[in-house]
Amino acid sequence: MAINWYPGHMHKARKQMLEVLPNMDIIIEMVDARIPHSSENPAIAELRSQKPCIKLLSKSDLADPATTEAWQKYWLEQKGTPSLAITTKEPGRIKQLPELIRKLVASKVGHTRKIQALIVGIPNVGKSTLINYLSGRNAAKVGNEPAVTKAQQQVHLSDDIVLNDTPGILWPKFENDNSGYRLAITGAIRDTAIEYEDIALFALRFLAQHHPEALTKRYQVAIPDLTADHDADIALLEAVGRRRGAKASGGRVNFHKAAELVIHDYRSGELGAITLETPEMIERELVVVAQQQAEKEAIKQAKLAEKAKRKSGLRH
């Protein structure tokens, strides 16, 4: 199933973001520490030009610390992008942000005007909570579901920094289907726009391969060999449902309830601090995506050439 969720207000917000981007001194991109790549907005990388950028890895308490460090090292070495791993449980880390902004921008702006910082991120990544903490007041509306903020706003963090907040936005199409699934698992896509069973099966396949101990500890189920049995993931979801009492009439497992249990347990950290992607994993996936796109383009061009050939034949 292809994951996609791009309501109208996101299209409007994207246009507004691109309009104000040239006037910004620095971009702060907030990503989910559990999916550092999949929660990056590709438009930012394409359009920020030479503007400095800071990556904020939110919800880092729900992510694997070693993998978070690997991503921070990767960004710094590959893109020269500094980052902060933050969590509301350790607010001291958040307080480092204004000073890091000044360090990267103050020499260019000087003391003639305030630093204009643009903060962007996917829905439900925690921007509003961050802004409220930094400003010391409820400057941004907070909710436990994506797409709560629907309009741009300015927040004065200090005498010299203005934070320009934007609604959480996704993008019209996910080139990497796996990224769509990961965004859905972590809660960036509204639940009414996804199929819980499909998302849970993706999560179980990943966990069974990379974190089987988390599944056995939480659900006390045997982990099947998913490479040997095509339906083993469904059997695993059924086993989880039976263990957790997700039953329908007649004693059958209610797969939707079982899927909800798995997704809730991941999002809440009940399965442990688990990151769904590593830099090496993403680099492999991007190679596959590039190959797929090249094949699609080749097919498209072949069809266009054949169509032109037929038209030419008709003229003669």
Task: Please give the pLDDT value at position 11.
Answer: 63
54 φ, ψ to 5°?
-120, 130
Fold of the CATH domain 8-165: Rossmann fold (3.40.50)
| Per-residue pLDDT tens digits for 217-229 | 999 999 988 877 7
Task: Please give the pLDDT value at position 316.
Answer: 55
Banded pLDDT at 3 (limits 50, 70, 90): low
Banded pLDDT at 143 (limits 50, 70, 90): very low
Banded pLDDT at 268 (limits 50, 70, 90): very high
For the chain, give me the number of helices (H) and strands (E)? 12, 6
Task: Please give the pLDDT value at position 149.
Answer: 47
Report the chain's mean pLDDT, rounded to a whole number. Answer: 84
**Whose CA is closest to 128, among 117, 110, 143?**
143
Q: What is the pTM of this model?
A: 0.84
**Whose CA is closest to 262, among 282, 234, 281?**
234
Question: Are the C-beta atoms of residues 127 and 80 closer than 8 Å to each other?
Answer: no
- CATH no. for 195-268: 1.10.1580.10
| Per-residue pLDDT tens digits for 19-39 | 888 889 999 999 999 999 999
Percent of the chain with pLDDT over 70: 85
CA distances in angstroms from 144 to 65, 124, 256, listed in the order given: 24, 7, 21
**Higher pLDDT pick, 114 / 74:** 74
Question: Are the C-beta atoms of residues 54 and 28 closer than 8 Å to each other?
Answer: yes
Task: Please give the pLDDT value at position 150.
Answer: 47
**Whose CA is closest to 43, among 142, 118, 103?**
118
pLDDT at position 170 over 70: no
Weakest mean pLDDT among 68-82, 197-211, 226-240: 226-240
Banded pLDDT at 295 (limits 50, 70, 90): confident
Percent of the chain with pLDDT over 90: 47
Question: Are the C-beta atoms of residues 152 and 164 closer than 8 Å to each other?
Answer: yes
Q: Where are the beta strands (DSSP E) in the chain?
A: 26-32, 53-58, 83-85, 115-121, 153-156, 161-165
| Per-residue pLDDT tens digits for 38-74 | 999 887 777 777 889 999 999 999 999 999 999 999 9
* Residue linked to tokens 């550092």: 36
pLDDT at position 306 over 70: yes
Task: Please give the pLDDT value at position 315.
Answer: 60
| Per-residue pLDDT tens digits for 186-197 | 998 877 678 899
Task: Please give the pLDDT value at position 138.
Answer: 56
Banded pLDDT at 146 (limits 50, 70, 90): very low
Weakest mean pLDDT among 46-60, 166-180, 223-237: 166-180
Task: Please give the pLDDT value at position 310.
Answer: 78
